[in-house]
Amino acid sequence: MLVKTNEANQSSWLKSYYFIRFAVAAAWVLLAFTASRTMPSLAAIMLVAYPAWNALANFVDAQRSGGLSRNKTQLLNLVISIITTAAVAIALGKSMNAVLAVFGVWAVLSGLFQLATAVRRWKSGAQLAMVLSGAQSALAGIFFVRMAGSAATVGITDVAPYAAFGAFYFLVSAAWLTVSDARRKAAEAAG
């Protein structure tokens, strides 16, 4: 019975966590395509805040899931996200292409750590979307690095679709867990 309670608590936590990650990413994307386009200082704050938020989210999730020592992939994601936060702040003084290059390297590493975390959590359910999200993040990172090396003018709206896909995957995982929990409770009530 204790195992079922722990699984239900983990599922409940992940559902809340994924819904929060979705809401924050969706708000970030909305701001990226609206207010930050005409307010460079807001765009700069948002670009620094994005990896910082990922660091905080990984820290909180790892703490709720047994601690950082039991969740090495989230510890690594936390560390790379903190380093990226500082690197983005520095790159903002150089150019948006430099910022995009930093985001690209971060997206590759963070995506791979997210993918590894999802594989480790496979039994928790709703992890296929997280695996896809991690893989897509890594691929987007490669694209960002290539784009950063070009002569194209880049801005926050080049990062926003990446964040939008992340929001989508978090929403899919949250919805998947919600449906799975409802089915499990219905089966328990019927049996």
Binned average pLDDT, 10 residues per bin, the chain of 191 residues: 62 92 97 92 97 98 93 97 98 96 98 95 84 96 96 92 96 92 86 71
Q: CA dihedral in degrees (182, 183, 184, 185; nearest 10)?
A: 50
Structure confidence at residue 4 (pLDDT): 58
Residue 78 near residue 62 (C-beta atoms within 8 A): yes
> How many CB atoms sit inside 10 A of residue 131's CB?
18
| 45 Cβ contact list (under 8 Å, min separation 6) | none
149 contacts: CB under 8 Å, gap ≥ 6:
97, 101
pLDDT for residue 159:
95
- Which helix (H) or strand (E) covers residue 35, if one does? helix 35-38
pTM of the shown model: 0.91
| The predicted structure's pLDDT at residue 140 | 97
